[in-house]
Structure 1
Amino acid sequence: MQDFHISDARMRGLGARLSRTRAVVWTVIAVERLWPLFLPIAVIISLFLSLSWLGVFRLLPDWGRFALLGVLALGLLASLVPFRKFRLPSSPDVDRRIETANRLEHAPLLTQTDRLAAAADDPFARALWLEHQKRMAERLSRLQGDLPRTDIPERDPYALRAAAALLFVVAAAYATGPQSGSVLDAFRAPVSTSAHVAARIDAWVTPPPYTGRPPIFLTADANREKTEFLVPENSTFSVRISNGSGGEALTVTKSADGQSVGVESGEENGVVQFAHVIDGDSVVELSDGSRTLFSWSFRTIEDRPPVIRFEGEPRRAANGALELSYFVEDDYGVTKAEARFRLADEDPNVRPLYGAPEVPLPLPRRSSKDNVAKTSKDLTQHPWAGRDVDLTLFATDAAEQVAESETKRFTLPERPFTNSLARALVEQRQVLALDANRKPRVKAMMDAVLLWADEMIANPAHFLLISSIRSRLDIARTDDALRGVVDDLWEIALIIEDGDLTAAERRLRDAQEALRQALENGATDEELQRLMDELRAAMRDFLREFAERALQNQDSLAEIPEGQMMDQMDLERLLDQLEDLARSGAREQAQELLSQLQNLMNNLQAGRPQQGQDDSMQSQMRQQMDQLGEIMRQQQELLNETFRMNREQQGQQGQQGQQGQRGQQGQRGRQGQQGQQGQQGQQGEGGQQGQGMTAEELAEALRQLQQRQGQLRDQLQDLTEALRDLGIQPGEGFGEAGEAMGEAEGALGEGEGERATGEQGRALEALRRGAQDMMQQMQQAMEGQQGNQPGQQGQRAGRVERDPLGRPRATTGPDFGSDVEIPDEIDTQQARRILDAIRRRLGDALTPQLEREYLERLLDMR
């Protein structure tokens, strides 16, 4: 029984080894049969890849490429035919292969699976058969597999398969180079072997947007022969290569140190692109392998830091606001400017509740010749008001370069309080705001005020307000709560001092500031209209309350002579002009006019006339200055009317040219062009001319303009004679103005409206120069006269008298527009037409992208 069990275990182990051997041998036979069939396919595929990587398909013409692909395709199909004879190994095939490989005789493998015949039930025969199987099994204890043996050498006696493998290895190594081909070359049209001829290379330099300069196209026809360019610093150099070889390289060599740097490329949809920022003088080379395609030399324009400095000392305006005049300059324009304050006697041990005041500075207009700007900021409400501060101006350009001015030390303007109680509250407010640790001292001072309320507080409402704020101060524990107390102390002091006037003044300043920010940020027309309405309402409220307060002093109001009273119509006209400028796109001029309006409000005060101003000579001077102002006003009206008549005249000439003599082609072309201009002029007027004028009406209108121009010239001559009688020598401006008026009169008589408009503009400019010279002589004469009067020596030296709106008083003459240049009606109409043309061009879908970008930059520069 034991032997029988041992034989069974040995038989089971033998069976497992036999199964593994049969699996290995089955795989070997399958490989032997499959490899000869697959080898032709592998050779054809390797040939296709080798030819693609070596660039053969890229070099062949279309017919050659198609023929080669056809041959390879036929070969591939032919190599698939032998697969029909492929058969998987059977079990007898595997057994025979094992017996052959191990040199086994008498079929020992077959013996293990054979069975005795059913009739052989003889025990002796059965024992004999088992013994035979046992002996055959002992011969199978050391079975081994066999290696695949194909007949490839017999089929390929010359070893051509090795040549295909060697070609594949060489092509795979070549595929990593810049000149290699691609598998896709077999399925797309070939490119020319001369990459520099077939490839499209576009190179350009884009200056930084803040420079406002257009791109420079290096490969354009105008610049193709140039090799040296002058570009702004930090410009972007770009190259775009289409249908290139793929081996292009870009090298940048710095002129300063001679070091060369390669620029990495990017590829998108088969297009190779390079980009590099030029931050110094350098040479850029574009090469294709060992051949240089282009070479450019760039010299950079250094982006200088901005410059900012004070133009005069910081000073206090009439209403207590801080006025600053400063110079700002940068090669490409300043983007931001601000004023930074610091306490002169700053103590690091205190706990302030407020930081330094923030004052952003408006920038000068782009068209400004002197780059000088002015700003006014009311800081009287800030707790630092009345303290010595150090002020420094900072300017930042688009390249984030920062410049600072010298530091000015001065006393920050404060609001004067005449009421002793209000002044005491403001002083304690400043103490608490500068150092929260001094809260007990402020409480003690307020307790003292409340203790002597009968003597110090006349209004019971004021007593209730101070008692309430004293209770809030007692329970305040955080800085936010203390800041609320500080703010309320200021409001209480204003109520005690001025009542409700300051609220109206604050609303007016808020409206001005909101409009100024909207103009700087390019707000929409709807937003500007809303802000203008708010400004008008705030202006009316302020003027009404100011007038009510002025009426409390009737004596002072009665002493103000005629010509110095405030005229609200002037303000209304100023607001109308401001709204027209903002809506027409002249945002910078609108900002300048708004600044002038702020100066008017700052200088609004109930002035008293000086004694000795009403003598005979000064009265005559005032009359002459008023007459000069009237002449300038009439000349401006003549200029506007002549401009409109000229456009009407051009429109009629254009219509006659379209209907007139067709044989005179030169005259017809000129009149046709004038007709187009006339039609555009009529459209730009928006219907102001109605249905037009007849030829007789136009001639009569020009004759009337000629007469008015002649009368105005005679008035100027009378004025110059009157000035000589007063001892004032008329300047050269009046002589040039008279000459220009005469030329304009003659041009109107001849029907030359365009020449008349130019002469009238020259006359108006000459009148302004003559007016400035006349005002200087009059001021010197009046100062000399006042210096001889007792008690008035030096009172007016170096000081220009202003009316309550900040305009020159009648003693110094009218404002001839020399301070702020406000566009007249002609400039406004031209600006509107230009803006409309730009917007129509932007709305055209066929406008090129490059032109769109340029027009958008023009709109941003408004």
Structure 2
Amino acid sequence: MANFSRHDKHRSLKALRWPLIWTRAGMIGERLVHALWPLFSVVLLALAALMLGLQDIVPIEIVWASVVLVTLGALAALVFAMRRFRLPSREEAIDRLDASLKGRPIRALMDEQAIGDTDAASTAVWRAHQARMADRAAGAQPVAPEIRTATRDPYALRFVAMVAFAVALLFGSVWRVGSVADLAPGSVETAAGGPIWEGWVEPPRYTGRPALYLNDLEPGQLEVPLGTLVTVRLYGELGALTVAETVSARVGEVPPASDPVQEFTIRQAGQIEIAGPGGRSWEVAVTPDAPPTVSRIGDVEAAALGEATIPFTAQDDYGVEAGEARIALDVASVDRRYGLSLAPEERPQLVVGLPVPLAGSRADFQEALVEDFSKHPWANLPVTLQLSVLDSAEQNGLSEVEQLVLPGRRFFDPMASALIEMRRDILWNRNNTARAAQIMRAAAHRPADVFRKETTQLRVNRLIRRMETLARFNLSDEMQEELAEELWGLALTIEEGDLADALERLERARERLEEAMRNGASPDEIAELMRELRQATEDYLNQMRRQAELDAEENGDTGAQQQQNENSMTMTQDDIQRMMDRIQELMEQGRMAEAEQALQELQELLENLRMSQNGQQGQGQNPGQEAMDGLADTLREQQGLSDQAFRDLQEQFNPNAQAGDQAGNEGRNGNQGRGQSHEGQGGQGEGEAQGQGQNGQQGQPGQQGNEGEGLAQDLADRQQALRDELRRQQGSLPGQGSPEGDAARDALERAGRAMDGAEDALRQRDYAEAIDNQSRAMDALRDAMRNLGEMMAQQEQNGQQGQGMVETDQQTNNRDPLGRDSGGEGGIGSDQNMLQGEEGRRRAQELLDEIRRRSAETQRPEEERDYLKRLLDRF
């Protein structure tokens, strides 16, 4: 380094020539952008307006005023550019390049030794320093220009101009720019007198194709869909331009060819010609609109309770709009014996709408019609089925007529089956009423053999007498329907029994087992009584489930509420099963005292279940509390969906992470989470998911993408179902007209809009946006609950019924998954002192530090870091 000479110094500086040139060129471009962006914005806005043809649809005064404004704006922008733009000097370029290097080596190379040049040691140190600076300068690279103008254009006006210009390129025409010249002085007469024309081709909206501007199309071949609308406007002297066409197939009175405004629809292939100065012609080819097709796929499936599933597939080139299934009685295939020997009464065809996809393509899809035909007069009889679909052009597509037996519910109890058969005969022909009464009297002549309860026998006898009385007269349609409905209800009661019967058998079995345990019965006797108790308990729970389903149908409960009731009943049945296994284990071990205590606990559990069921049936007595409970359930469901969306967001950015590793998470694959499995399909069971984990199988990348799409659509469907439930709750919200009630309705409106936004974001797999909308929905739900609570408190102060017991129940229901009491007014969190003092502050600080650390990691996706920053802003 001590041998570093002046020649070496000049050679090092000379090597910086090209990096310096490129740096200076970048500075020139940078200053041009900073100086000329206003001028570019004005020019782009003016071009966009001209290309969109705004000068042709606004008054001439506005056009000239706009020209003046654009000219003044352009001049001001030009003056601004001239004042701002300065060519960068060589020294400025050297400073920028030198600032990009450590220690500013270029300036060090250009320096001279000020003192000690006569001292050999000092000179050696100086040359060693310059040699090191030369090594650093050798790695100099051109500095990229800083062309961002956000600080100079805080309102993003340049982007407004660019978007307007892009819209003009897509939907406008460059040819329209020249039309502004016709507005100049001296050319108005020429424009008004000269023959010119304009034309548009607009395909039907359902095709999804854009409109075309005929002036932009060269003469030649033109292919358009059937039903396209053509509009032609002629300007100038009448008759100078004419329109001739052979595509509309119009007959009768046709407007003159020189009419200034002509519209016609393309119905066939042919020619369109505009004759005269500047005229053109096109050979039109028509793309036909094929009618839709529909067909049934697979067999018709019938559920145990009579619900029918008819799968079908439908296709159309542009999409199916609607469809229906037509079912007619196949009289020729009916076994015309007994009550069916008479001629059937005339009944209209059974018409049921076919389901079509709410989202996605309707061009080719598969769906299933699910309907319960059990109560229809043709249930379990031969019928004909024909499916039909309709497209947007109102073309109808029909399937082949198929013969099948209309699925209906089957009854296995002999007396119930007989009642259903008599019901069918009466609906087949009302003249069968006397015969049906006679058969029912014969079937019930030994009541002890066919009836389990005396009340059922009395109901059947009363119905037989009524039928015998009505058979002497002509039955009206209302009487016929009343008889059919009563026969159906009696058959269900006999087939399924009722809740009181099941409870009575359960109490009797429990008392017998308890007495046997006290009296020291033999193991065989206790085992037999235990089997009886298990059977009675199962019957009782099944009756409760059926009763809940019937109540849900009568009260119009939604599918989500029915699903929640079924899940609650399943969990209770599992608890009872485990408790009964425990009782049997204790008895086998000879621990009768503990077994008797466990039997008492079982009785209390069943009593609580019955009281809970009665409480749910009686919720309608308090509309305010019922609405509060419904909103609380909706809030919990929305919180669960938000947790699942957050878990999916984490796994989207870190797919190799352990999925759902928190015990209380609402996401998927948690230790105790209640979501679905991530490794399998949405409905995969626990054992199947565990089997995959043990085998170590992993899906392929394409499969993971499909599963991610399916999970997102599943979340979106659940969000839509929750939105529908909220809409139902809005319709039954009490307190209309009161300030608190109106405020609650406004809050629910905000929650509904946020849920709609969350659903759209989930269908696009934008989890971050979905989580934001779900958070807004939860905030709005809390506001609604707070307003509803204030309204109920106001009513209580006004002397209405007290809510002491209801408040106690509400406190029980408002516990979070960790067993803590949630905050007041439905807020998320707890009013309890959970982590106070130094420990709580330390843990909170650790969480904040971890969020800050992750938000600062640039290798993380931008969406995740934005979400973490929003968390920091919120907390």
Q: What TM bracket, shorter-length normalisation? A: 0.3 to 0.5
Higher relative contact order, chain-length normalized (CA < 8 Å, sep 6+): 1
Please tell me whether Structure 1 or Structure 2 has the larger radius of gyration of its CA atoms: 1
Normalized against structure 1, the TM-score is what? Answer: 0.39
Normalized against structure 2, the TM-score is what? Answer: 0.39
